[in-house]
Chain A
Amino acid sequence: MKMSGIQIVVEALKKELVDTVFCYPGGTSDNVVNQLTEADIRFVMYCHEQGAAHAADGYARATGKPGIVFSTSGPGSTSLVTGIATAYMDSVPMVIFTGHGMSANSVNDAYKDVDVFSITLPITKHSTVVESVSDLPRTIREAFHLATTGRCGPVLIDLPIHVQMDIGIFRYPKNIYMRGYNPVYNCHPGQVNKVAKVLAQANKPVIYAGGGIIYSGAHEELRQFAEKFSIPVTTTLMGLSGFPTGHPLALGMLGMHGTYWANMAVNEADVIIAAGARFDDRVTGRKSDFAKDATIIHVDIDPAEIGKNVRADIPIVGDIKQVLTQLLKKPGPENTEPWLAKINEWRRCAPMRYCQDADGEICPQFVIEQIYEQTEGKALITTEVGQHQMWTAQYYKFNKPRSFASSGGLGTMGYGFPASIGVQLGCPDDVVFCIAGDGSFQMNIRELATAVKYCLPVKVAIINNQHLGLVRQWQEMFFHSRYSSVVLQKGSPDFVKLAEAYGALGLRAQKPSEVIPVLQKALSTPGPVVIDFRVKTGENVFPMVPPNCPINEMVTTAK
C-alpha cells in the first residue's frame, strides 16, 4: 500500500502493537502527532522531552514492552539525552524517533538541526538515520527487534522530514535477518554441567541476582532453584523485585548500602552464581578483594559483561531463565544448613534498624515502611536518586517482578517522577508511588502538569530532609562535615502549594502520628497527590561500605 513516510511509521507501530507513545511536538514531529491521533494509539504529551523519555522507560520497565518516544529535531532530541542514557545503562527497551530537518545530514547548520546520531552513539544499542522512505519499514522492524531482544536497550531512529513526507510502500517484513546480530539464548550444555559439578561440592553458595532476572522473566525459576537447593539470594538494586524480599532465603541487597549479612555472605562464599548482574563498583567495593576465595559462575546474555569487571571462573552466555531451568534438573549443594545458620548469625549481629520516636521527628525509613503497609505491598514503586532511594531498597519489601523502577546504572536524579507516570500509564489499575527526595523531585517537577492533565493518580512521597541528603552524608563522613551546596531549605518551594497550583492534591506530614493518616488520605484520593514528608534532616544511610573498601568492611552505625 502506498503512503507517506509518516503513515508508514504509524502503520509499523500498529504492527508492533504499540498502544502508547510518549512525545513532545515540534516542527519536524507534528506530522506524527497528527497521524497518531487518527490511529488508535494513545500519545501522551509531556512538559519536557526528558520527562517523556523517562516515562517511556518507566512504562517499559513496568510492562516489559518497549517504550516509544517521539521528539522534534535539535533541542527536542538533545533534551532526550539523559533519558536515553538512563535507559541504556539499565538495559531498558525503547525505540526513539527524532525528527530531523530537510536532509539526512546536518550539513549546513540549519535551524534546529543537531547531529543527534553522533550525540547518542555511545548511549544507544543501535541507531539509524533513515535516508530513504523505502528503508523505513525494515529500519523500524529492526529497531524493535534490537530493542527487545538479547540485552535490551534503546534504539534511535532519526527521521529527516523528506523521509516523513515522501510516498513509499508499506510492506512490513515478518522475519528479519541481521547478519551482525545473533544474541545467544541457549546456553552451552557443557558449561551447565561444569556449574552443576561445582555446585554439588559447594558448602557456602550464594546467588547474586541482577536486573537480568527480571528482564529474562526468570523470577519463578530463580525461586525454585534457590528453594530446591536452599541457596541464599542477594540482589542488586536492579534485581530487587526479582526475588521476594520477605523470602527466608532472601538476603536483601548487597554492596555499598546492602545488608551486612549479604555482604559477609558474598565475601565468605565458596561459590557465587552471578545471574544477570554486572559486578558494578557499587556492588563489589574494592575489586581486588571481592570474593577472593569463591568460584564465580557468571550467567549473562551479554558476553561482553563476562570477565569485564571481575574474573568469571565459569562463564555461561545465555538467557538466565533457560540456564536456571537446566540447572534445576542437575544436582546441587547437599546441605547448606550450617551456612544458612552462619548467615543468620551475621543477620543478628547487625540488623537493619532505626528508631522511630513517637514524639520525635519522622524517620525516613518509617515513611517507606508505612507506604508498604498502607498499600499492602501491592504498589509499584519508582524512586529518584539519593538516600531515599537506598532506604527504599533497604526497607521496602518487593514481592513481584517489575514492581520497582529506579535509575541504577546512571543514577539519574529526575528519573523517578516522570517514570512513575509511565508506570501508571502501563499499569492503570495499580497503585503507583514515587519515593522522591526534595532535591531530585525538583528536577522534573513540571511533569505534575502531565499527571494532572491525564488524570494519572500517581502518589509522590517526598522524603523531605531539606538537603541533598546523600551528598550531605558523604561530606559529613568523608569531608569532615565541611558542607557545601547541600542545603535546600532556602529556595525550595512549598510543595503543598505547588501541587495545588498544578491542580493536584498536596499533603504534608510533620509528626510521626501524621504519616499513616496522610498516606490513607492520599490512597483514597482519585487523582495525583504530592505528600511532603518533613523528615529528620541529619539521618544517614547505614550500613555503608566506604568507597573503594572491601565489602566486608562496613560501617554499620553512626559514630
Chain B
Amino acid sequence: MRYVLAVLVEDKPGVLVRVAGLFSRRGYNIESLAVGKTVEPMVSRMTIEVEADEKILEQIIKQLYKLINVLKVSNLTQEPSVDRELVLIKVSADVGNRAEIQQIVETFRAKIVDVALNSIIIEVTGNQEKIEAITMLLSQYTILEVVRTGKIAILRGSKTIK
C-alpha cells in the first residue's frame, strides 16, 4: 500500500542524507519526497510517499524517530487531508493541435505557461488522480518531458502537525 508521511526535521546539515540514507539502506521504497521550510524557524517538513506494508511502515516510522534530527512523524494516509502535487509537462505541439490540447488543459483547470513553435509547457496542480488523468490524455501527443515536485499534504481543519 502507498502511505503518505509528514516528517518534521531540524534544519541541520545532512538531515536529508540521513533520511534518504535510511530508506535506501533498509530497502524501503520512496515514491516521492518533497522538502521545504515551515513557519517555525530551523524546522523543515518533508512529505514522503512510501510503498510498504503495515509492518514495514511501522519500522520506517520507528527508524525515522531514531534519527536525532527528526522531530515528528505523522502518518497522513488515513487522515482527512488535502494533498497536491505540481507537475510541468512539455508536450510537442504545433498550430495543428494546439487548440485541441488547450481544451484538455482547460477541462483540467491546468495552465499553459510557455508556448514555442513546436512545443508547449503545461502546469498542472492537483492530486494524484487528476495528474494521472491529464497525463494519460496528453500521452496521445508526444510528451517530451515531465517534472514533478512530489506530493505535499496537509491535514484538513484546524489541526496542525507541530
Complex Cα–Cα for A282 and B65 (A):
27
**A180 contacts B62, C-beta separation under 8 Å:** no
Does A485 sit at the interface, judged by CB under 8 A? no
Contacts known (A121-B18, A122-B25, A307-B55); A181 close to B68, Cβ less than 8 A: yes
CB B45 to nearest CB in A, in angstroms, measures 14
**B17 contacts A118, C-beta separation under 8 Å:** yes
Chain B's closest residue to A305 (CB) is B62
Does A303 sit at the interface, judged by CB under 8 A? yes
**B55 contacts A180, C-beta separation under 8 Å:** no
Q: What is the number of residues of chain B that contact chain A, defined by CB distance less than 8 Å?
A: 20
Does B123 sit at the interface, judged by CB under 8 A? no
**B68 contacts A129, C-beta separation under 8 Å:** no
The listed residue (A121, A126, A303, A304) touching B17 by CB distance below 8 A is: A121
**B14 contacts A117, C-beta separation under 8 Å:** yes
Contacts known (A304-B59, A304-B62, A308-B59); A126 close to B13, Cβ less than 8 A: no
Number of residue pairs A-B, CB distance < 8 angstroms: 39
List B10-68 residues whose CB lies under 8 Å from chain A. 10, 13-14, 17-18, 21, 25, 55, 58-59, 62-63, 65-68
Does A313 sit at the interface, judged by CB under 8 A? no
Does A179 sit at the interface, judged by CB under 8 A? yes
Complex Cα–Cα for A304 and B65 (A):
9
**A180 contacts B10, C-beta separation under 8 Å:** yes
Complex Cα–Cα for A180 and B25 (A):
21
Does A178 sit at the interface, judged by CB under 8 A? yes
**B71 contacts A179, C-beta separation under 8 Å:** yes
A residues near B25, Cβ cutoff 8 Å: 122
**A180 contacts B70, C-beta separation under 8 Å:** yes
Complex Cα–Cα for A131 and B63 (A):
27
**A180 contacts B59, C-beta separation under 8 Å:** no
The listed residue (A122, A178, A303, A304) touching B21 by CB distance below 8 A is: A122
Does A146 sit at the interface, judged by CB under 8 A? yes
A255-272 interface mask toward B, CB cutoff 8 Å, 1 = contact, 0 = none? 000000000000000000
B residues near A303, Cβ cutoff 8 Å: 62, 65
CB A135 to nearest CB in B, in angstroms, measures 11
B residues near A302, Cβ cutoff 8 Å: 66
**A304 contacts B66, C-beta separation under 8 Å:** yes
CB B7 to nearest CB in A, in angstroms, measures 11
Complex Cα–Cα for A268 and B25 (A):
35
List B68-116 residues whose CB lies under 8 Å from chain A. 68-71
Contacts known (A118-B17, A121-B14); A180 close to B67, Cβ less than 8 A: yes
Chain A's closest residue to B8 (CB) is A180
CB B113 to nearest CB in A, in angstroms, measures 36
20 contacts between A and B (CB under 8 A): A117-B14, A118-B17, A121-B18, A127-B14, A129-B13, A129-B14, A131-B13, A146-B68, A178-B68, A180-B9, A180-B10, A180-B68, A181-B68, A302-B66, A303-B62, A304-B59, A304-B63, A304-B65, A304-B66, A307-B55
Q: Give the interface of B toward A (CB within 8 A).
A: 9-10, 13-14, 17-18, 21, 25, 55, 58-59, 62-63, 65-71
- Other CB < 8 Å A-B pairs besides A117-B14, A131-B13, A180-B71, 15 of them? A121-B14, A121-B17, A121-B21, A122-B21, A127-B14, A179-B71, A180-B67, A180-B68, A180-B70, A304-B59, A304-B63, A304-B65, A304-B66, A307-B58, A308-B59
Q: Give the interface of A toward B (CB within 8 A).
A: 117-118, 121-122, 125-127, 129, 131, 146, 178-181, 302-304, 307-308
Please list the 7 inter-chain residue pairs (A to B) with the smallest Cβ-Cβ separation, ordered nearest first: A304-B62, A126-B68, A180-B71, A181-B68, A180-B68, A303-B62, A121-B21
